[in-house]
Amino acid sequence: MARAIMIQGTASHVGKSVLVAALCRIFKQDGYVSVPFKSQNMALNSFVTKDGGEMGRAQVVQAQAAGLEPVVEMNPILLKPTGQASSQVIVLGKPVGNFSAQEYHTNYVARAWKAVCLSFKQLCAKYEIIVIEGAGSPAEVNLADHEIVNMRVAQMANAPVLLIADIDKGGALAAVVGTLELVLPEDRQRIAGIVINKFRGDLRLFQPAISFLEEKTGIPVLGVVPYFQGFSVQEEDTIPEGVVGRASSLSEAARDKKTKSSEVEIAVIYLPHISNFTDFDPLYEEEDVNLRYIGRGTPLGYPDLIIVPGSKNTIEDLVTLKRTNLAAEICDLAKKGVPVIGICGGFQMLGRTLADPYRTESSIPKEAGLGLLDITTTFAPEKVTTQVEGEVIGTGAFLASLQGERVKGYEIHLGRTELGFRAVPAFKIVFRSGEKVDFLDGAVSSNGLTWGTYIHGIFDNDIFRRHILDVLRVKKGLSPLTINPKGKKPTFFDKLEQDLDKLAAVVRGSLNMQKIYALINLPGPSRSSNLELRTSNFKLREGG
Enter the CATH code of domain 3-231+495-542: 3.40.50.300
Is 146 among the residues known to form the active site? no
Q: Where, residue-wise, is CATH 3.40.50.300 in the chain?
A: 3-231+495-542
Portion of the chain with pLDDT greater than 90, in percent? 75
Q: In the 8-state DSSP scheme, what is residue 233?
A: -
pLDDT at 492: 83
**pLDDT above 50: residue 534:** no
Mean pLDDT of 300-311: 96
Is the confidence at residue 77, as pLDDT, over 90? yes
Contact 458, 429 (CB under 8 A): no
State the catalytic residue, choosing from 24, 273, 344, 467.
Answer: 344
Amino acid in the structure at residue 439? F
Range(s) within the chain of domains with CATH label 3.40.50.880: 260-480
Q: Is the pLDDT of residue 255 over 70?
A: no
Whether residue 540 is predicted with pLDDT greater than 80 in this model: the reply is no
Condensed to tens digits (0 to 9), the pLDDT of residues 81-116 reads 887 778 899 999 999 988 988 899 888 999 999 999
pLDDT at 253: 39
Chain centroid to Cα 150, Å, comes to 21
344 is catalytic: yes
Summarize the confidence of residues 500-511 as an average pLDDT.
Answer: 95
Q: 3.40.50.2300, 3.40.50.720, 1.10.287.130, 3.40.50.880: which CATH number matches 260-480?
A: 3.40.50.880
**Dist CA 294 CA 96 (whole Å):** 33
Give the pLDDT band (50/70/90) at residue 238: low
pLDDT 10s digits, 145-192: 889 999 999 999 999 999 999 999 899 999 999 999 999 999 999 999
For the cut 60, the answer to whether the pLDDT of residue 70 exceeds it is yes
Please report which confidence band the pLDDT of residue 485 belongs to, taking 50, 70 and 90 as the band edges: low
Measured in degrees and rounded to the nearest 5, phi and psi for residue 492 equal -60, -40
Q: Are 129 and 4 in contact (CB under 8 A)?
A: yes
**pLDDT at site 483:** 61
- Over 90: is that where the pLDDT of 10 sits? yes
Residue 416 CA to residue 247 CA, distance in Å, equals 32
Backbone angles phi, psi at 238, to 5 degrees: -135, 155
| Pairwise CA distance, residues 154 & 184, whole Å | 13
Residue 525's pLDDT is: 79
